[in-house]
């Protein structure tokens, strides 16, 4: 069947509850339901708008935004209602075990040296702390992007850093992102992040006809996704 090799590589990380296209914000919302006043690091926070999500989920959240100084989003940031820091792109300026959750959406594909950065993420997470985010797989070049990750490839990097993958979910499909780039990024494509994108709809329909289970449909979408979301964690001490 489609993507059997990827399904074997990902194993239990392929979700079996549903095969819907998923944003990192949804995974974060579910994770926050079991936390109380967590310390959250938004890695690559840009303009800092994600603070609104976490404050809405828990007003007691201690949210800190972190980004490189020369980020275009940092240069144009206008909000001053949250705590922001800058760093060199590798060395996170906080103590060991400071954060319950590190949140990072569409950042890793722009990082030149992901290995030391992910090791730093593991260091500043408390034991049992979570890393939630998204990154690109088959997305065309954008904003000086340097890498594209397969879900399995990211899991290898995380494992080397001392972080365990928990689940990987498909986001917008690659064909939609390719067409969007080729047509000059028309705004009509913006809808496909928040709802099932065209190729994902096609895969879902084909998968049901072919008798694929939920994990099988997720795997097929992951095989052809432009972006994917993930949940990982630092293992408990000992």
Query: Three-state SS for 217?
Result: helix
What are the residue ranges spanned by the domains of the chain? 4-233
In whole angstroms, how far apart are CA 100 and each of 63, 92, 186?
A: 10, 15, 38
Torsion of CA 42, 48, 52, 57, to 10 degrees: 0
Specify burial of residue 127 (Cβ count, 10 A radius: 0-12, 13-18, 19+). exposed
Predicted TM-score (pTM) of this structure = 0.95
Q: How far apart are the first and last CA of the chain?
A: 39
Give the pLDDT score at 94: 97
Determine the Cα–Cα distance for residues 197 and 86; give it in Å rounded to an integer: 35
3 state SS for 158-211: HHHHCCEEEEEEECCEHHHHHHHHHCCCCHHHHHHHHCCCHHHHHHHHHHHHHC
pLDDT by position in tens, the chain (length 238): 677 899 999 999 999 999 999 999 999 999 999 999 999 999 999 999 999 999 999 999 999 999 998 887 788 888 889 999 999 999 999 999 999 999 999 999 999 999 999 999 999 999 999 999 999 999 999 988 999 999 999 999 999 999 999 999 999 999 999 999 999 999 999 999 989 999 999 999 999 999 999 999 999 999 999 999 999 999 997 5
Quickly name the fold that domain 4-233 has.
Rossmann fold (3.40.50)
Give the pLDDT score at 71: 80
Query: Three-state SS for 65?
Result: strand
Strand partners, 104: 133
Give the pLDDT score at 194: 87
In whole angstroms, how far apart are CA 82 and each of 3, 45, 148?
A: 43, 11, 31
Gyration radius from the chain CA atoms:
18
Determine the Cα–Cα distance for residues 161 and 175; give it in Å rounded to an integer: 31
Torsion of CA 123, 128, 132, 136, to 10 degrees: 60
């Amino acid at each position: 069947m489609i993507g059997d090799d990827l399904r074997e590589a990902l194993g239990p990380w392929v979700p079996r509850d549903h095969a819907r296209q998923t944003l990192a914000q949804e995974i974060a919302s579910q994770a926050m339901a079991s936390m109380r006043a967590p310390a959250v690091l938004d890695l690559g926070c840009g303009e800092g708008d994600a603070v609104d999500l976490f404050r809405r989920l828990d007003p007691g959240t201690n949210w800190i935004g972190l980004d490189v100084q020369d980020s275009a989003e940092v240069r144009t940031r206008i909000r001053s209602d949250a705590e922001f820091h800058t760093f060199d792109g590798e060395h996170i300026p906080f103590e060991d075990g400071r954060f319950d959750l590190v949140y990072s959406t569409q950042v890793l594909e722009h990082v030149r040296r992901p290995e030391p950065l992910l090791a730093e993420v593991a260091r500043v997470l408390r034991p049992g702390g979570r890393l939630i985010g998204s990154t690109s797989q088959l997305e065309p070049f954008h904003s000086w992007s340097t890498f594209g990750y397969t879900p399995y490839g990211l899991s290898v990097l995380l494992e080397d850093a001392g972080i365990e993958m928990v689940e990987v979910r498909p986001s917008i499909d690659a064909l939609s992102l390719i067409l969007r780039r080729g047509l000059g990024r028309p705004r009509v494509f913006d809808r496909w992040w928040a709802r099932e994108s065209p190729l994902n709809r096609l895969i879902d329909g084909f998968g049901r006809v072919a008798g694929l289970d939920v994990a099988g449909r997720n795997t097929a979408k992951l095989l052809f996704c432009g972006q994917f979301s993930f949940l990982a964690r630092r293992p408990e001490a000992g």
